[in-house]
Each structure stands twice: as structure tokens, then as C-alpha cells.
Amino acid sequence: MAKGKLFEYAVLYHPKPEKDASGKEIQAKSSILKVPAMVLANSADEVGILAGRAIPEEYLDKLEDVEIVVRPF
């Protein structure tokens, strides 16, 4: 049996800038969709798949603004 490695991952949302009435761009703050979680996995790719499953349903149509960050230990 292969030994799993320890990884930590989080899912972030970076909204696109919006324009106000005067045409000035307003950048909304990024938010954390999934707080950092630790998992045992064989590779960072496997962690990416697990993190992808943790994306809330209401953000599935905004995947270009979602970032998955993975950190190995």
C-alpha cells in the first residue's frame, strides 16, 4: 500500500472588477470558499480533484474566478 503525503489546500474566489456609475473600476475583495484543509493524497493532482469537488455549487458558473491553492508538507 502506498503511503499518502500530507497536503493542505484552500479554494479562493477572486471576483472580476466592476465599474461604478462614473466608469471607475472597483475591485471587490477576494474571499475564501473553502477554508484550508489538510488531506492525505498521493499527489498534488489528486488534491486538486478533491478541492474541485469542494467548490460550492453557486460558484460553478464562475470557475474562471476560482483559484485552488495546494501546499505540500
Q: What is the tally of structural domains in the chain? A: 1
Report pLDDT for 54: 94
Q: Residue 37: phi, psi to the nearest 5?
A: -130, 145
- Strand stretches in 5-64, DSSP E: 5-13, 18-19, 25-26, 31-41
* Cell numbers representing residue 28 in the block: 471587490
**Tens of pLDDT, residues 33-44:** 999 999 999 999
List the alpha helices (DSSP H) in the chain.
Answer: 44-53
Are the beta carbons of 59 and 66 closer than 8 angstroms?
yes
Integer distance in angstroms from the first to the last C-alpha of the chain? Answer: 20
Range of the domain at 14: 5-72
Indicate the pLDDT class of residue 68, thresholds 50, 70 and 90: very high
Q: Which pLDDT score, from 0 to 100, does residue 38 have?
A: 97
Query: Can you give the pLDDT at residue 23?
Result: 78
* Predicted confidence band of residue 1 (pLDDT cuts 50, 70, 90): low
Average pLDDT over residues 37-57: 96
Average pLDDT over residues 54-60: 95
